[in-house]
Structures are given as structure tokens and as C-alpha cells.
Amino acid sequence: MSSHNIVKVADIMTDKLITLNAEDNLEKATQLFEKYNYDGFPVVNEEGILLGIVTAYDMVSQSYATHLPSLLHILDHALPDDNSGQAIREQFNIIKLVRVRDMMNTDPLVVSPDVRVEDLAKEFIQHHRVNPIPVIDDNKKLVGVVSRFDILRFFDENYFYKMLEDSGHQGILKRLERFGDK
């Protein structure tokens, strides 16, 4: 079989994009994580150019490393106090000032839509914490995201055949069917 590129990132990526803006606050980011249960969200400007990515890991390590100890301290020490509500509100007001730009990774791993899926898999193997990976065109415009799950789906036989068919590789399917008849 020839080694021409069968399936590319463009064939498996998600192009229904849920993104954040650099000026969005921590609360909005948290709500997206709660609602969609994704590992990360791309951050784009008004033109759709990728500025960075915010992952759940970034949020925990950046924002909560700063604010969670203060909140827990208040819960431990200030609750019996009459002004404990005030102290908690002050902490949350500080947290509300945190913006996505303060937490995002401004130099994320990215791929182009025409990268082969096997090369994408190697990127995931080398970068354990990275997920998802933004897919950008030559102008750094976000065109999709691709996750470990998108690669895992290849292990589903029906998905694999549908993938080959959708990407115009019926010839391979025919050869596979002939091979299966032997």
C-alpha cells in the first residue's frame, strides 16, 4: 500500500468551536468547564486569531494556587466571626478581577489541519498534559481543536470505516474488503 497521507487532522478535528476571549473573567471560564466538561478552551481575538489556550490544569495551577489558600483560610478562621461574610466577599471580588489572559498559556502546542493523524498521536504521546490541541491555519486563525478522544475514536471499527469513506478513500475500503475475503 502506498504511504500517501490517508487521514489528516482536518478529518477528525472538531470545528464547532467554543472559545474564550482574553478579557473574559475566571467565572466565565469556570462556567465553560462546568458546562462542557472539556480539558481546555482556545482563547481568540475578534478576528478568530489564536492567542492561547486555557486548560483546567492552568486554572488550578495559576488561579487557585493564588486564591484557594486564602478562601480556605477564611473558612478555617473567619467563619465564627461576624464579618466573615465580608471577608469571603472581598476574596471573591479579587478573584473576579482575574482574567483569562492572566491564566492562559500564550505559547500552546498547535497543529495544522493537514498534519497526519499518526504525527498528531506522537505529539500527544510526547506532551502528556496537553489536551486539546488548537488547529490553526497559516494565518494563526483557529479552525478547530483536536483531542485525545478524537484519536481514540479510530479504535471504533465503524468510525474508522466512515472516516475512510468521508475522506474520499473508497479505494482503500475496496482493497480492505478484498483482503477480508481471502
Task: Specify which of 29-38, 70-79, 167-176 reaches the highest per-range mean pLDDT.
Answer: 29-38
The dihedral built from the CA positions of residue 101, 105, 106 and 108, taken in this order, carries a sign that is negative
Residue 163 confidence (pLDDT) above 90: no
Q: What digits encode the pLDDT tens for the residues 78-89?
A: 555 566 677 777
Q: Which CATH architecture has domain 9-181?
A: Roll (3.10)
* Diameter of the chain measured on Cα atoms: 81
Give the model's pLDDT for residue 96: 78
Burial of 170 (0-12, 13-18, 19+ CB in 10 A): exposed
- Kindly state the average pLDDT of the residues 106-112: 95
Give the model's pLDDT for residue 1: 40
pTM over 0.85: no
What gap in Å lies between CA 86 and CA 121, rounded to an integer?
Answer: 50
Mean of all residue pLDDT scores within the chain: 82
Q: What secondary structure does DSSP assign to 105-146, as a single string?
A: BSS---B-TTSBHHHHHHHHHH-TT--SEEEE-TT-BEEEEE
Among the ranges given (17-21, 74-78, 107-111, 118-122), the one the predictor scored with the smallest mean pLDDT? 74-78
Residue 170 confidence (pLDDT) above 80: no
C-alpha cell at 56: 483546567
Query: Cβ distance 98 to 26 under 8 Å?
Result: yes
The dihedral built from the CA positions of residue 24, 25, 29 and 35, taken in this order, carries a sign that is negative
Among the ranges given (25-29, 77-81, 95-99, 164-168), the one the predictor scored with the smallest mean pLDDT? 77-81
* Cα angle 63-131-43, degrees, rounded to a multiple of 5: 60
C-alpha cell at 131: 489536551
Residue 181 confidence (pLDDT) above 80: no
Q: What digits encode the pLDDT tens for the residues 3-51?
A: 455 789 998 999 999 999 999 988 899 899 999 988 899 999 999 999 9
Q: Higher confidence at residue 120 or residue 155? A: 120
Cα 62 off chain centre by: 17
